[in-house]
Amino acid sequence: MRRSARMLVAVTLVVGGLGTAASAADRARADVRSLAGAESSVLGLLEHYKATAAWRSAFDVAVSRQAADLAELKSALATPGVRPPSARVTVPNLVNVELDRAEAQLGALGLAYKAVGGGIFGIVLPADWTVCSQHPAAGTRVARGSSVELDVEKYHCS
């Protein structure tokens, strides 16, 4: 497999986090083994690209996020009767994006949303509304299935 393809697979595994963590302990243990393998791949690629500061920075961030998710999963597995945490995703920047596009981005990540605003008649055509602010902020890691609050205004933000 070419190095660039291996790098893409490793980054996808790391950035994607844990995938869908099932409630069964066997699935969780398989996820831990998979993450450990992905971590070693990423560390190998990080060593290969250490001369490039941008790559090193991106891999350092990805590895630290994976390490935090792995520690959280190990902690949950060590406590009997506790379900492993769900997968975590990064909230995208949706400010100045039309509401219909924001809906699609959040749906693809497995996130729900609540639109705040909408005027007297509510939101009839999402494409006519623009996201002016969001909570949680872009870049925040949240559990898959979480809700993002979108403040919207008609056509453009004031």
DSSP 3-state assignment of 110? Answer: coil
Phi and psi based region of residue 24 (left: phi greater than 0; alpha: psi -120 to 50; beta: remaining): beta
Longest CA pairwise span in the chain (Å): 57
Structure confidence at residue 74 (pLDDT): 74
3-15: per-residue pLDDT in tens? 554 554 454 555 4
Structure confidence at residue 148 (pLDDT): 94
User: In this structure, how many other beta carbons lie within 10 angstroms of the beta carbon of residue 51?
Assistant: 7
Averaged pLDDT score across all residues of the chain: 74
pLDDT above 90 as % of the chain: 21
75-110: per-residue pLDDT in tens? 767 766 665 556 788 899 999 999 999 999 998 888
38-61: per-residue pLDDT in tens? 676 766 666 666 656 665 666 677
Pair of tokens at residue 62: 């990805």
Cα–Cα distances in Å, from 69 out to 15, 35, 90, 109? Answer: 11, 9, 13, 17
**Whose structure tokens read 């995208």?**
92
Banded pLDDT at 22 (limits 50, 70, 90): very low
Structure confidence at residue 2 (pLDDT): 52
Cβ neighbours for 21, distance < 8 A, ≥ 6 positions apart? 27, 28, 31, 73, 83, 84, 85, 86, 87
